[in-house]
Amino acid sequence: MKRVIFLVDMNAFFISCEMAQNPELKGKPAAVAGDPKKRTGIILAANYEARRYGIKTTMLIHEARKLCPDIILVPPHHGLYEKNSREVMNILSRYSPVVQQNSIDEAWLDMTGCEALFGKPVKSAERIMNDIMNELDLWCSIGISENKFLAKMASEVKKPLGITELWKNDIREKLWSLPVREMYGIGKQTEKALTGIGIYKIGDIAKSDPQFLIRKFGKYGEEIYHLANGIDESEVEINPVSKSKSVSRTTTLPDNITDLEYAKTVILRLAEDVGAEARKQNCKGKTVSITIRYEDFKTITRQKSVRPTYLTKEIFEAGTKLLEDNWDLCRPVRLLGISLSNISDDESEQISIFNMNDNIQECTEKEEKLEKTFDKIREKFGADKIKRAVVLKDTL
């Protein structure tokens, strides 16, 4: 049976959530931004009316106002976006038991064999789009294909409210003429390396000697060769975390920062998400890493070993120690991230010298129960309903 894979991509998600909550923003150029009172804040998401003026994500606020003096700026409400994301995923789960969330605003669905229930792929996509629009007042685009890569590429073709099919038979006509930068997974540095050897289009990758690409880029060269030829055998997985062996979260900051204490509160928020996801999968990790990206886009990563854990408290403590050891007051930071890796779901690997002591073991078990209770409260009532004191202090 031919596979049928959807990629559902929410359109301008953050600002769309704000417009759904405040309809007065509709039809007007608007964007979610860092502190709108500060010139140094950045645009986090712009609606399509604002994009017509050339306003883009990460643009400085004062630059956006030059392009569109009347733009309406609203501060981010991450709890709202997380709540709407969960509701979108709940809608998608009505159509397929196999939904793999790729980010807060997009997910793959394996729709193989669902025609008898929901009709042809395009008809199913229309139903999904209408459900999301009618129930949440949000827009999406949907890519349809026989694998995850082509579905993702198809979802980018028409925005907003686009439904696009891209099958293997279509790639010569619809895919190969695109610049390599438009290929999912290829960033600026890879684009530069490819164009440096005369590869400008996706079709150029597809027609290259795979051994040449392997010599130039290693295993990644073989991967992009297969993808450019429409070959992707990866499965849509409900819980891919245990295979990826890591859980990570990053955030681009609304303003460049040099304040270490504020950076710690950001790391805590990210550690909450990392810990919750790891607990959801019942996977403990032995390595905590942080990512720091400076205003000049230079990026560093640092890591340290910890006892096997999925506790937010322990992930956060390791992350803050790494921050303290590597913080540079003279270099403004624009992005922070934290990850838990070296993960295993094998309970036999969870016993270590650190938890052989009965008192330590008892404290750990209490902490695990407490954090899992937090998870249930947040899942039911929203992420903003329960916060740690350090976060509340920062917001007062």
List the catalytic residues: 106
Rounded Cα distance between 130 and 201, Å, is 35
As to burial, measured by CB atoms within 10 angstroms (0-12 exposed, 13-18 middle, 19+ buried), residue 348 is exposed
* Pair 58, 33: CB distance under 8 Å: no
Question: Does the CA dihedral 24-55-332-388 come out positive or negative?
Answer: positive
Q: Report whether 174 contacts 166 (CB < 8 A).
A: yes
Q: What value, to the nearest 5°, has the Cα angle with vertex 31 and ends 51 and 187?
A: 60
261-297 burial: b if 16+ Cβ within 10 Å, else e: eebbbbbbbbbbbbbbbbbebebbbbbbbbbbbeeee
Between strands 140-145 and 5-10, the pairing is antiparallel
Q: Report the alpha-carbon distance of residue 191 to residue 201 in Å, rounded.
A: 10
| Residues facing residue 248 across a β-bridge | 339
- CA 383 centroid distance within chain: 17
Q: To which residue do tokens 């998600």 refer?
A: 13
Chain-centroid distance of CA 371 in Å reads 23
d(CA 187, CA 147): 21
Both structure tokens of 251: 């955030």
Residue with tokens 């608007």: 30
Short-list 247, 240, 246, 301, CA closest to 274: 247
